[in-house]
């Protein structure tokens, strides 16, 4: 069965491994890539319309705190798919890196960026590989939409610059009650109440909300202390 649109499945493997564990992780990543390649080939995630939360958070927090159209600002779109958020940010003058495990998605993102006449730094990697190896305090803005892998939370904080912002949105356990069969169903893919808030408590939380109507999601805007 293909993953639910708008959701990125997460690995349960550890970040650091040796020997046979590395083979297991590589095997899992290849399987994950095949699943997502099939999904993107079916054009189930083809939309380039940005999530409303990105637009609202950008206008109310990112632009006022970091500046709008300021050269030199660097954003990263994790599990960025075909580029709907990365392209939107690049159109506003940001340098943007997009990371995705699917070569099909990255190829489509490249075409979409060309059509939009913007430049993206495209990385074909699993997030485990990328964030663990990435330099500390590298990005002014991190975008995470509908991806949940709890063991990567510390790495997200690590790669964020002091004063930088993370925008995070993904499903909560309320999704099971509100839309059974639509979205992930396994607990490892669903946030508990206030879990995202607690996970990033070392940051300065600018905004947090959990919806309990129509769709169960958590939305976070948090800034790393300067």
Rounded average pLDDT per 10-residue block, the chain, 226 residues: 39 40 45 56 71 98 89 93 96 95 90 97 91 88 95 95 97 79 70 96 97 91 97
Report DSSP state, residue 172.
B
CATH architecture of 20-223: 3-Layer(aba) Sandwich (3.40)
**In this predicted structure, what is the pLDDT of residue 43?**
58
CB-based burial, 173-204: b 16+ in 10 Å, e otherwise:
ebbbebeeeebbeeeebbbeeebbbebbeebe
**CA-to-CA separations, 49 to 88, 151, 161, 188, 223, in angstroms, rounded:** 9, 29, 27, 28, 25
Q: How far apart are CA 142 and CA 37, in angstroms?
A: 24
- Which residues 6+ apart lie within 8 Å of 19 measured at CB? none
- Identify the three-state secondary structure at position 124: strand
**Structure tokens, 127:** 């997030």
Provide the 10 A C-beta neighbour count for residue 83.
27
**In this predicted structure, what is the pLDDT of residue 45?**
63
The interaxial angle of helices 103-116 and 20-41, nearest 10 deg, is 50
**In this predicted structure, what is the pLDDT of residue 92?**
94
123 torsion bin: left (phi>0), alpha (psi -120 to 50), beta (else):
beta
**In this predicted structure, what is the pLDDT of residue 177?**
77
Q: Count each helix (H run) and each strand (E run) in the chain, helices first.
A: 9, 7
- Identify the three-state secondary structure at position 4: coil
Number of residues in the chain: 226
Residue linked to tokens 């890539």? 33
What predicted TM-score, i.e. pTM, was given to this entire model? 0.82
Q: How far apart are CA 44 and CA 107, in angstroms?
A: 15
The torsion angles phi and psi of 38, rounded to 5 degrees, stand at: -65, -40
Contact between residue 54 and residue 90 where contact means Cβ atoms under 8 Å apart: no
DSSP run (H or E) holding 56:
helix 52-57
């Amino acid at each position: 069965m293909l993953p639910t649109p708008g959701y990125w499945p997460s690995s349960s493997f550890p970040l650091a491994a040796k020997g046979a564990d590395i083979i297991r992780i590589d095997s899992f990543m290849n399987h994950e890539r095949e699943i997502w390649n099939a999904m993107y080939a079916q054009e189930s995630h083809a939309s380039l319309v940005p999530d409303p939360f990105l637009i609202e958070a950008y206008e109310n927090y990112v632009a006022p705190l970091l500046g709008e159209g300021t050269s030199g600002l660097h954003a990263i779109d994790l599990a960025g798919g075909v580029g709907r958020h990365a392209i939107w940010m690049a159109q506003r003058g940001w340098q943007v890196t997009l990371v995705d495990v699917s070569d099909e998605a990255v190829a489509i993102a490249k075409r979409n960026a060309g059509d939009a006449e913007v430049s993206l730094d495209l990385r074909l990697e699993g997030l485990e590989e990328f964030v663990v190896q990435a330099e500390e305090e590298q990005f002014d803005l991190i975008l995470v939409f509908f991806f949940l892998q709890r063991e990567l939370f510390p790495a997200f904080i690590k790669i964020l610059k002091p004063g930088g912002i993370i925008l995070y949105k993904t499903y909560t356990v309320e999704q099971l009650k509100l839309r059974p069969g639509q979205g992930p169903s396994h607990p490892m893919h669903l946030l508990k109440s206030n879990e995202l808030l607690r996970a990033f408590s070392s940051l300065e939380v600018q905004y947090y909300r959990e919806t309990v109507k129509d769709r169960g999601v958590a939305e976070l805007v948090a800034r790393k202390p300067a």
